Structure 1
Amino acid sequence: MARRGQSRTGTRRTAPRSQRRVKDGDVIGVLARTVREVEAAAQRGRVTPSVRTKFQAVALLLREERARVREDATGSESSRTEQLKRLDGVATILATTAVQDAGLLALLAEDAVTSDAARTLRLELLKDAGIEPPAEEAPAPEPVAAAPAATERRVVPQSVVSRQLANPFLAPDFSAAPQRVSRPRRLAGWELLDPLLSSFERAGAGDAACMPLPTPSWLPVPKGLELMPHQAQLVAAAAAGHRTFLLADEPGLGKTAQALLAAEAADAYPLLVVVPSVVKTNWAREAGLWTPHRPATVVQGDGETIDGFADIVVVNYEVLDRHAGWIGDFGFRGMVVDEAHFIKNKSSQRSRNVLELAERLRSRTVRPLLMALTGTPLINDIDDFRAIWQFLGWVDDSKPLGELVDALEDTGLTPADPGFYPAARRCVVDMGIVRRRKVDVAADIPARRIADLPVELDGAAGRSIRAAEQELARRMVTRYETVLANRSSDDAVEGIDADLVRQVARWELKEATTATAGENVFGMMRRIGRAKAGLAADYAAQLARSAGKVVFFAKHVDVLDAAEETFTRQGVRFSSIRGDQTPTVRQKNIDAFVGDPDVAVAVCSLVAAGVGINLQVASNLVLAELSWTDAEQTQAIDRSHRIGQTEPVTAWRIIAAQTIDARIAELIDSKAGLAARALDGSDEEVQSSADVQLEALVALLTDALASR
């Protein structure tokens, strides 16, 4: 948030306070009145852009007034104390109001952009208090275009340079250019964008939320895989020629697979996929599953490791700015934006980057595939639609465009006609809004499923974990080779001695269970859990905003603590259910999660909350850490998947890619199948958690020996 009297470029403009104060006015009274207006609007659930402007203006002026009162040496100590007390009251209302709305909370962040409207309103509030700011504090006009120096440094990976040299002529593709017929515009003089947005506010319970979708025929599904019927319908729409989609299915309904196969059906390659960092590894994995013949690459950091010749390029919002230059010239024919509500603030850098890239894509390719994926298209109010509609090319800053205008003209209605609003909403929905809920497609999906979400552990923590894993493998290899060297020639075994590998793994496991220091498999899993905590909590917060209540499970206290810090920072209310609580406190927290609609997440100990409680108010769970047994994992999932649950339950397992975490997840799943067979009457023995630990070490040692 910009400081008082400071422009976005950081130039100081505030005159000394002795020069500012022309009259002695009651700024605190004006602040109190305005913050009450904001509070009332938030309580009514009507946080409009004007309300957000008031909120930010109050926050700016509150900070300035507090600093002025503290610096004022002319008044008495009792007077300063009384003024600060009144300001604290305003600050309390501001904070409690912000917690109710994620959009307001974001305005309190240090990097929040101060809007022109907020700066202007701040000056008006000063005038209301009888204070005339000096002329130099008048709002300065924004520059026509952002200076390139203000953006993050731009990079061009060497692999991309190689591709550009191999394909020097990336000609625009106008082969499918539609022939637009010029026609008289009956609605030319009407303001249409606000009525279009209002048409969604006026929607009735029976109004359609999904465009008509065709019956699937042939679909580009890899052999051995099968789409659920609701997924197949969207892919069929792309195959039939539809090219813009706001895919707003609830989480757990397979939006990733739908987007990848829609790109295949539309031949929209190269394909750009913009995602939050927590899911970019999962996108690459899903691409390998659903479009295995299309190479996919993930942009990490400066992009030194990317494949410039890939068909699918996955990049996260956080690094998009530094790669926007070459991405704009890459020749993409399709673009997918995951968690598209991230771009709702059109003044944010990531929103500007996405909208600019989409516009460049449309300028090079006629009818490119554009898909916005989000379970939460609306967070604050209907105005959140604007950026998503603009990304899809349905509107610009002030008016509807192209096919949407034609559809509105064809209604024969104007905003003055009573039937305009339902007809206009139908026109927008038919442009490509697809919204299905779990309960609507319950027959398509299993009642209980586990979805793995691989994440990359970047930075020092990730490097440390990988180094520790390598050291553990080296230690076991050394022990294996020592035993092998002391054997007689009669005991020689060709290749890797599987029996000796298992014996070395047993020795390592025994030492790990008794050691009080040193790196071992248990300590490594705990470190992996800590490294995943922030990513897992961030994903849980996204789920809570898009799908309702979420249960978050972890094993270790420090992982639970880290998750709760993330929720607090993001303004997500939660209940904590742990083993060290008294029965009274525990039940109070359970009741808060179940009964209070504002408590979005239950942060649960995998052991303490894995049994004996009912949390069926949530149908989504996040497993931030892996258990050593499928039984413990199943017990946790069954807190929601139980009698009284009306929706299919999805458990999202957060897996640290390229670590022992991924191997353990595979082992747990294999033991789950074994346990099921045993319960069904098999003679096979059900294995314990120690077996999973042993098999993980066996796999680690075997891989290390095989790679020598």
Structure 2
Amino acid sequence: MSCSKEEIERKRLAALQKRQKVLSHGSNSNQNTPVKSWPGQIGSPQPCSSKGGFKSSMTSNSNRSHPYSKPKTARNEENNVPVGKVVSGTVYLISEDRFEVNPSEFCAPLINIFKSLPSKSYDSKSKLWNFSVNDYQQLMSKVAPLAPHIVLGPIPPYVLRVLREEAMDPNCVDLSPVEATLRNKLMPFQAEGVRFGISRRGRCMIADDMGLGKTFQALAIASYYRHNWPLLIVTTSSMRETWQSKIQELLPSVPMMNIATLTSGKDTQFVADKQTEVVIVSYKITSMYQDLLKSKKFGVVIIDESHYLKSHKAQCTVALSSITRQCARAVLLSGTPALSRPAELYTQLALIEPGFFSSYTEYGKRYCDGKQTNFGWDMTGQSNLPELQIILQKRFLIRRTKEQVLTSLEEKTRETVLLDSTLLQHSDTDKGLCDMAEAYKSSRASEKQAALITYFSESAKVKIPAICQYIRQLLTDAQTQKFLVFAHHRAVIDAVCQTLDEENVGYISIVGSTPANTRAELVDRFQHIDSCRCAVLSITAANSGLTLTAANLVLFAELHWNPGILTQAESRAHRLGQRGGVRVRYLLAPRTADDLMWPMLQGKLNVLNDVGLSRDTFEHTTMKHQESKNNISQYLTPCTIPKNKNDYIPGTNIRKDSIKSDVTNDVTNEQTQNGDDVDKSFLDDDEDDELLANLDL
């Protein structure tokens, strides 16, 4: 089809008029409200290219005189945002005076804004930009007009409040109101902790390393605020008498008749008495007598071993939340505030300052990498840990390690001992353990808990012969003095005790069923009687509240899935009063659950280090091998090993029939749930570790 010269000229003029209208309309829309645009439209926003630049609908330079060519007009780079695609990003603190921005992808308009800020700094390692907190409002105001194409998640208001607030200077706190008997016994770093608690108006957490005297600091803070009493002390059942004796020792002005320990209904009248100044109660009893405790109108509360309050829905947590809300002062104590993940901190922080975080969900999304699934929110991850650490240190807690404050304390060394594989009872269960390992690796997240429990339980039985033989080797070593043995399953504990009996070695044993009033006697025996060389302990029942500094060696016959539990157990020996260094040895067996749990522990401990709640690491432990002397079985194939007529476990004097062995996995699971082969303390959710019901993966 051909057109005349007149038609061509008419169409050209019409196109020019149309172009002029578009330009005029686009100019007005920039000043008022945005209009819908399309790719290639003149004056419309252009999408980000893969290299971060902006695509042009006209790339040729040879036709600039063409009526449809792109006009030479200045454009606002900051308003050239992607169309139909949202660039998101998070803003978080990396120090007290700087924040970082992490965008979902590269986008030039955002980079241009970054470059316009005076405090800009680019980290070549992380490939992210960071700025002074003084430029935060300027950044957000410049990014706001780019919405909804570019959206940055702001720093929460509570974080900004923490940065702006001016707390009381701890150095200005006068400790003269603290009872002199206690004040004169405080070490300098303990006095510093007391001043911190008072500067936080008596609502704080003392998170010092185990063995640094958190009890002294808590009682000193309580003494400072004695005008707010009565005082409530919440602790584990095994520590109630310890707290009572410490009050009598450090606060002699408190009459013994004014201290009540609530253990059952017969104590309720004593607790309600107006003359009662101090009430000591266990976690479990707290939820049982919540109304009685609320009616007492406590002004000061001390919560010992507060890391047990992991679930914000537990009855004990709900009861304590109600009680602490009406208290003027609340002091939490824990050497391991989070045993393995940031989610465990929320409940404790909410007790110290209710309402600081808007909700558990918001806390989880910010610091636990919270994700909504078909089964609810998954809060098992971690995110923005440097920011969380800043909040904790400025607002909630003080933490010191032994290395920081006890320069005279000998160091603690960790070793892993690879057990002799020829002593492992693999013959009948080898294939079963392999199947359990595969079942764990291939199972869904909701099934991993049960799979690891089964694998862990069966691994314990396999390790028993090698563990007992290793202890025999220790006893023959003249350099071995007093030592601790931590184990998890009752079968392992019983086997170790039987080995010590056969060797005529004096020892004590503390498990979940050990009465609280006899534990102090057992500890005193181990500490002061030379013939008592060993303490056999349940990991969960005896990992806290005991001082066993007479030992210089700590053995872990089994692992635990929470690194905080293990480090607490180590500190039974490595604490104030220890003379000489402490060696910690973890007995690991190949082709057992140890292969999965040891790397898991290392990863969890790294998370706690990132949030500033730990400085431990399991990654640089030295490795040794168990001695294998005169063991003919290592030269024989399994089918040629002669069976001894008394059917003893190789390397021990323990009969196989003395160790109950489950025939099927169903029986194993049933016995594990019923606690037949597990220390009974494991099944006490409120008092100990919510053991098998809340396995951290």
Structure showing greater Rg: 2
Question: Greater strand share, 1 or 2?
Answer: 2
Question: Greater helix share, 1 or 2?
Answer: 1
TM-score normalised by length of structure 2? 0.35
